[in-house]
Amino acid sequence: MNIIVCIKQVPDTAEIKINPETNTLMREGVPSIINPFDLNAIEAALQIREQSGGKISVLTMGPPQAEASLRDAIAMGADEAVLLSDKAFAGSDTWATSYTLAKAIEKLGADIIFCGKQAIDGDTAQVGPETAEFLNIPHISYIRKIEEVSDNSIRVQRLMDEGYDIVESGLPVLLTVVKELNEPRMPSLKGKMAAKKAEIKVMGFADIEADENSLGLKGSPTQVKNIFAPELKAERKMIEGSPEEQVDSLIRELKAIKCI
Amino acid sequence: MDYFFSEEQLMIRDLARQIADEKVLPVRAELDENEKFPWDIVRTLAQSDFFGIYIPEEYGGMGLGGFELTLAIEELSRACLGVSTTYAANALGTYPLMLYGSEEQKKKFLPDIAAGKRLVAFGLTEASAGSDAAGVQTTATLDGNEYILNGTKQWITNGGEAEIYTIIAMTDRNKGPRGASAFVVEKDTPGFSFGKKENKLGIRASVTRELVFDNCRIPKENLIGRQGMGFIVAMKTLDKSRTGVGAQGVGVAQGAFEAATAYAKERHQFGAPVISFQAVQHMLADMATEIEAARALVYAVTKYIDNDAKDVSKESAMAKLFATDVAMKVTVDAVQVMGGSGYMKEYPVEKMMRDAKILQIYEGTNQIQRNVIGQALIKETAKKK
């Protein structure tokens, strides 16, 4: 079983600030982490490997410093890591990113491809499903449970607004996962040592047989018009105390604004 | 202060701190309140290779030393002494096998211990034997190819949860301390059962039980070392593990100090944060100084032991004694710095104060540590003549 986990290095949003003048992210000094949903994807892959064996490769597209996230994934237990990095990939939107990832996955070969449901920086949730489309394979999104994996099929639970669907698919398949699926493990000491020594394979334009015009900024139909921080319109007030006190103060507050 | 750790040591400290912050800290109050054994945390530590740090690579461990183990114990103790007691007692129970176990015993038990698949407990203390290790009443009688164990061990950390027990029992009562032997006993051996779980002042996440042996038959091969070596096995084990208790003291003191300092910066009285008052500053200054001194001593002694020093009883007793007395004083002072809040369960320092007390008692009371140091001093002066 060959498993590829697509991950993204993202700024730790708990630490992030927005420049009020330019409305852009202030990335300086903000630590980079693996996108949290991707940690669930890595954990899912590790659990499948524990059950039925196989090899886990982590794949990311990004600048050279994204290598750190790949090493973190190896510290959790992934077998190998591939960094897709090339000037030709710069400026990719979700479409071009998915195309590039798909081309790399075609080269690497996989039975199951895992992605987090979305990245916490862009929040589009597009790259997983788009990658499956470029690969022309089925995808199942928002996986909350993996029921069964065999050599040529998989049965999973897909989280829906009300309840869940049970979906079965042949392999290869691409799955995007939600955090309810599992609790990502901590890295291990042996994993961290392996990660330090691991050779990270770098793939560029020359390695993936891609159409140049579909890559990077050139291959990206998305145009960013404006980025801004939403204005804070509503005020929030926390009512504290015992339940009785809370009810009293809530009634008082509602009366004060003539709501009741 | 920078102790110039190696890359591996930094890795261990940082990962232990991450586990302590993310997995232990959020649940420590609940574990304490409900006396809940921290199985989830044990599993995390196992998966992250922490049970194998000091076990040789050939038995599935990482082949590092007591120093690296000490770093892990210190970081876990910073968050919760109950959790770190569970972890450290596992090493305590493992040392007899590591130090005196046969090749077969090592091959059989160490890989599972290193992987954290099976927990270990050390059984020395009895109703009439604690500080007086020679007062052991539990007997082991050779009968053909088996030893028959009879007796009761008291206050055994990890008792009932552990699957592997290293036990000191008398094989020849007439010989006094030289009549003791060490054994490895597996859980579920017929005749081996557990008494009630003790209700404790502190370290309530750790479990403490009686071990009851009632005509418990174990194979002859479960003897650790030679017959009559039990007392030596126990003493050498304690020599090795005492710095771990010292590290627990450093860790819990550090945790209490950090909580007290953070609070003193936030808490305002007379129009200023209380940390701006000299009375508070002096308490914090003493705490910080004593913690650093304790840490330096624990690290120095652990390195000394790791370098195969021959007789380490005095030094390891000093590290245990000093660091745990510091822990008691610092945790009491942390409660004082935090005043009324420090006394409340919403803050962690009252727990740390309750927890710290055991460090002055277990693995040899601090009075016994002073005896050990005193006896070593007498020996040293005798040699000089």
SS3 per-residue string spanning A99-148:
HHHHHHHHHHCCCEEEEECCCCCCCCCCHHHHHHHHHCCCEEEEEEEEEE
Q: How far is CA A11 from CA A195, A226, A233, in A?
A: 21, 20, 26
Residue range B157-203, pLDDT digits in tens: 999 999 999 999 999 988 888 899 999 999 999 999 999 899 999 99
Which of B40, B48, B75 best probes binding to A when mutated, by most A CB atoms within 10 angstroms?
Answer: B48
Please determine, for residue B21, whether its predicted confidence score (pLDDT) is greater than 70: yes
Note whether B224 and B270 are same-domain residues. Answer: no
Note whether B88 and B124 are same-domain residues. Answer: no
Note whether B218 and B250 are same-domain residues. Answer: no
Q: Cβ contacts (< 8 Å) between A31 and chain B: which residues?
A: none
Which of A12, A188, A189 best probes binding to B when mutated, by most B CB atoms within 10 angstroms?
Answer: A189
Name which of A127, A110, A100 is nearest A8 in CA terms. A127
Identify the DSSP state of B129: B
**Structure-token pair, residue A237:** 């007030």
Q: How far apart (Å, rounded) are the C-alpha atoms in residues B284 and B258?
A: 10
Residue that the structure tokens 């599935």 belong to: B60
Note whether B167 and B100 are same-domain residues. Answer: no
Domain presence at residue B177: yes
Please tell me the distance in Å from B214's CA to the nearest CA on chain A.
Answer: 41
Note whether B124 and B21 are same-domain residues. Answer: no
Q: Which chain A residues touch B if contact means CB-CB below 8 Å?
A: 185-193, 196
Local confidence band at B385 (pLDDT 50, 70, 90 cut-offs):
low
Note whether B224 and B352 are same-domain residues. Answer: no
Residue count of chain A: 260
Last residue of a domain, one of B53, B85, B114: B114
Name which of B106, B95, B232 is nearest B166 in CA terms. B95
Q: Give residues with Cβ within 8 angstroms of A163, minimum separation 6.
A: none
Note whether B249 and B262 are same-domain residues. Answer: yes
Please determine, for residue B153, whether its predicted confidence score (pLDDT) is greater than 90: yes
Beta carbons of A64 and A12 less than 8 angstroms apart: no
Domain count, chain B: 3
Mean pLDDT within B363-373:
95
CATH code at B25?
A: 1.10.540.10
Is B23 within 8 Å of A190 when comparing Cβ atoms?
no
Note whether B287 and B221 are same-domain residues. Answer: no
For chain A, the average pLDDT equals 92
Domain presence at residue B172: yes
What pLDDT was estimated at residue A224? 82
Domain presence at residue B2: no
Name which of A72, A42, A53, A70 is nearest A181 in CA terms. A42
Mean pLDDT within B272-290:
97
Local confidence band at A258 (pLDDT 50, 70, 90 cut-offs):
confident
Domain presence at residue B194: yes
Please determine, for residue A210, whether its predicted confidence score (pLDDT) is greater than 80: yes
CATH code at B280?
A: 1.20.140.10
Note whether B149 and B240 are same-domain residues. Answer: no
Is A189 within 8 Å of B53 when comparing Cβ atoms?
yes
Q: Give residues with Cβ within 8 angstroms of B325, minimum separation 6.
A: B249, B360, B366
* Model confidence, pTM: 0.88
Is A187 within 8 Å of B8 when comparing Cβ atoms?
no
CATH code at B222?
A: 2.40.110.10
What pLDDT was estimated at residue A121? 86
Q: Give residues with Cβ within 8 angstroms of B328, minimum separation 6.
A: B356, B357, B359, B360
SS3 B165: strand
Note whether B236 and B374 are same-domain residues. Answer: yes
Residue range B315-337, pLDDT digits in tens: 999 999 999 999 999 999 999 99
Domain presence at residue B291: yes
Note whether B60 and B172 are same-domain residues. Answer: no
What pLDDT was estimated at residue A18? 75
The boundaries of the domain holding residue B279 are 231-380
Span of A170-179, A197-206, A239-248, B279-288 with lowest mean pLDDT: A239-248
Last residue of a domain, one of B229, B254, B288: B229
Q: Give residues with Cβ within 8 angstroms of B374, minimum separation 6.
A: none
Domain presence at residue B173: yes
Residue range A116-175, pLDDT digits in tens: 999 998 889 999 999 999 999 999 999 999 999 999 999 999 999 999 999 999 999 999
CB atoms within 10 A of CB A160: 10
Last residue of a domain, one of B63, B95, B114: B114
Catalytic residue status for B363 = yes
Of chain A, the percentage scoring pLDDT greater than 70 comes to: 98
Domain presence at residue B1: no
Tell me which of B277 and A241 has the higher pLDDT: B277
The domain A2-214 belongs to what CATH superfamily?
A: HUPs (3.40.50.620)
Mean pLDDT within A32-42:
96
Please determine, for residue B134, whether its predicted confidence score (pLDDT) is greater than 80: no
Residue range B41-89, pLDDT digits in tens: 999 999 999 999 999 999 999 999 999 999 999 999 999 999 999 999 9
Name which of A81, A69, A57, A58 is nearest A2 in CA terms. A57
CB atoms within 10 A of CB B127: 13
Q: How far apart (Å, rounded) are the C-alpha atoms in residues A67 and B354?
A: 45
Catalytic residue among B30, B258, B363, B380: B363
Domain presence at residue B318: yes
Note whether B42 and B160 are same-domain residues. Answer: no
